Amino acid sequence: MSRPVRGGLLRRHRDFRLLWCGETAGTFGSSVTAVAMPLIAVSTLRAGPFEIGLLTAASWIPWLVIGLPVGVWVDRLPRRPIMLTASAVSVVLYASVPVAAWRGLLSFGLLLTVALLAGTAMVFFQTAYRAYLPGLLDPDDQAEGNAALHGSASAAQIAGQGSAGVIAQWAGAVNGMFTNAAAVLATFFCLSAIRHREPAAATAGRPRRALGQEVGEGLRLIVRDPWFRTFALFSAVSNLALVGYQSIRVVFLIRTVGLAPGTVGALIAAVSAGGVVGAMVARRVAARFGTARATLVFELGLAVCALLIPLAVAGPGVLFFVTGGFCVSMGVVAGNVIKAGFQQLYCPPELLGRLTASTAFLSYGTIPLGALLGGALGTAFGVRAAMWITTAGIPLAGLILWRSPVRWARDLPTVRPADPAADTPVVPSAG
């Protein structure tokens, strides 16, 4: 039986409150940078479409290159020092852009290098951060913690994207990079103030195996376990469709629907607000219907609303875009909250870093492919037809969950079989 709750987690858990503040600040800064970096490239360096795409790809490539070994290192080492180091490196990188501009040294090569190295730091930070949370919170608090972190991240993303243009107009796109440097610096100080110290790693005292062997162990964990395998495959296909639709939605709204750029920004912010709502309702729906059934509701039921997006036309017809996008954002974030809690409980703590990195390697690897797919479909068949194809892929990805053990369970399991090579999952009663 769960222990009684003594007020909200943010009120009664100082260390979690610091982690929450730091992560929220970092997400806000990253959202500003996601807009500021392309603005610098276009307005200051006169970069073309290919360079902009290359700049975006540079921040994701590190997941494919070093994501798997980083998972091993995170399982071998204390996670908090890794996060602190990654934050400190990011502060220096982001601040270097305006400093270089002041000294007349800013170039696209420098901007590309900053994006690549900051993306590398993010691989270390995010992998360690996801593996760190279960050690900070009791199991009974992890669901609330995941909801708070995902909800604040969605809100910070909306605020960051909405304020990026204002910051660039007021201070200039280059100087706007100081906003992200300051936000990441706040993350560093919040993490520094956490009093919790991690216990010795579960692998301490064991003979350390070759890096490749431990990387393989993380991948085998996904391949052999039907629950991890299902969620990894679903994430990869879902990201392919989601990024495919998102990569052309601005072109769709401006050139096909006929909206002004300012209106487009407001609509995208409204759509993103669905993520905040999803984080708020995820725990309640999961408690009422079960975590497995709630996952299907969010990742398949709400995903069907994506088919409203291509129906958008000027005037009241833009509500099709807002309604469909809002529901998709709500379902994605709520599903992520439930999935994060499941992984933290179901995965052995000593393998959580490798699981996180292996899952990210598989799911994030489809992000650049999705962006290329959206552009290619738009060029070949027209933007509205491309929107139909990519948005249809969102609920189709949910069918992976429907054809998996998730369909037959009320709740996702919380305990793995004792044999790590076992292929038979522990399925709770569906009663």
SS3 string of the chain?
Answer: CCCCCCCCHHHHCHHHHHHHHHHHHHHHHHHHHHHHHHHHHHHHCCCCHHHHHHHHHHHHHHHHHHHHHHHHHHHHCCHHHHHHHHHHHHHHHHHHHHHHHHCCCCCHHHHHHHHHHHHHHHHHHHHHHHHHHHHHCCHHHHHHHHHHHHHHHHHHHHHHHHHHHHHHHHHCCCCCHHHHHHHHHHHHHHHHCCCCCCCCCCCCCCCCCCHHHHHHHHHHHHHHCHHHHHHHHHHHHHHHHHHHHHCCHHHHHHHHCCCCHHHHHHHHHHHHHHHHHHHHHHHHHHHHHCHHHHHHHHHHHHHHHHHHHHHCCCHHHHHHHHHHHHHHHHHHHHHHHHHHHHHHHHCCHHHHHHHHHHHHHHHHCCHHHHHHHHHHHHHHHCHHHHHHHHHHHHHHHHHHHHCCHHHHCCCCCCCCCCCCCCCCCCCCCCC
Residue with more model confidence, 53 or 125: 125
How far, rounded to the nearest angstrom, does the alpha carbon of residue 86 sit from its chain's CA centroid?
A: 17
Residues 6 or more apart in contact with residue 77 via CB below 8 angstroms: 201
pLDDT score for 251? 76
pLDDT at position 301: 95
Distances (CA, A) of 430 to 49, 292, 293, 410, 412: 51, 10, 10, 5, 10
Q: How far is CA 399 from the centre of its chain?
A: 21
Question: Distance between CA 310 and CA 219 in Å, rounded?
Answer: 37
For the chain, the structural domain boundaries read: 11-198, 224-412
Which fold is adopted by the domain 11-198? Growth Hormone; Chain: A; (1.20.1250)
Residue 3 scores a pLDDT above 50: no
Q: Check for a shared fold between 11-198 and 224-412.
A: yes
CA 171 to CA 86: how far, in whole Å?
Answer: 27
Q: Determine the pLDDT at residue 40.
A: 80
Is pLDDT larger for residue 307 or for residue 62? 307
CATH topology of domain 224-412: Growth Hormone; Chain: A; (1.20.1250)
Residue with the larger pLDDT of the pair 5 and 325: 325
Tell the burial category of 268 from Cβ atoms under 10 Å away from its Cβ (0-12, 13-18, 19+). Answer: buried
Reported as a single tens digit per residue, the pLDDT across 183-200 is 999 999 999 999 887 766
Whole-number pLDDT of residue 265: 64
Q: Are 359 and 232 in contact, with CB atoms under 8 Å apart?
A: yes
Per-residue model confidence (pLDDT) at position 238: 94
Task: Determine if residue 419 is left, alpha or beta; phi over 0 gives left, psi from -120 to 50 gives alpha, anything else beta.
Answer: beta
pLDDT band for position 430 (cuts 50, 70, 90):
very low
The pLDDT-based confidence of 5 (bands split at 50, 70, 90) is very low
Q: Give the up-direction half-sphere exposure of residue 419: CA atoms within 13 A in the CB hemisphere.
A: 6
Gyration radius from the chain CA atoms = 21
Which of these, 113, 88, 87, lies nearest to 100 by C-alpha position?
A: 113
**What's this model's pTM, rounded to 2 decimal places?**
0.71
- Give pLDDT, residue 425: 40
The pLDDT value recorded for residue 166 is 67
Residue 337 has pLDDT above 50, yes or no: yes
Residue 375 has pLDDT above 90, yes or no: no
pLDDT tens-digit series, residues 239-269: 999 988 887 787 788 788 888 766 776 787 7
pLDDT tens-digit series, residues 28-77 = 888 777 767 777 876 778 766 566 667 777 887 888 888 888 888 888 88
> What value does the mean pLDDT of the chain take?
82
pLDDT at 327 over 90: yes
The more confidently predicted of residues 209 and 54 is: 54
Among 137-146, 262-271, 317-326, the range scoring the smallest mean pLDDT is 262-271
- pLDDT value at position 364? 80
Q: What is the per-residue pLDDT for 212?
A: 64
What distance in Å separates the CA atoms of residue 356 and residue 352, rounded to the nearest whole number?
6
Q: Say if CB 71 and CB 355 are below 8 A apart.
A: yes
Q: Give the pLDDT of residue 169.
A: 65
334 compared with 215, residue with greater pLDDT: 334
Q: Would you mind telling me the total number of residues written for the chain in this entry? A: 431
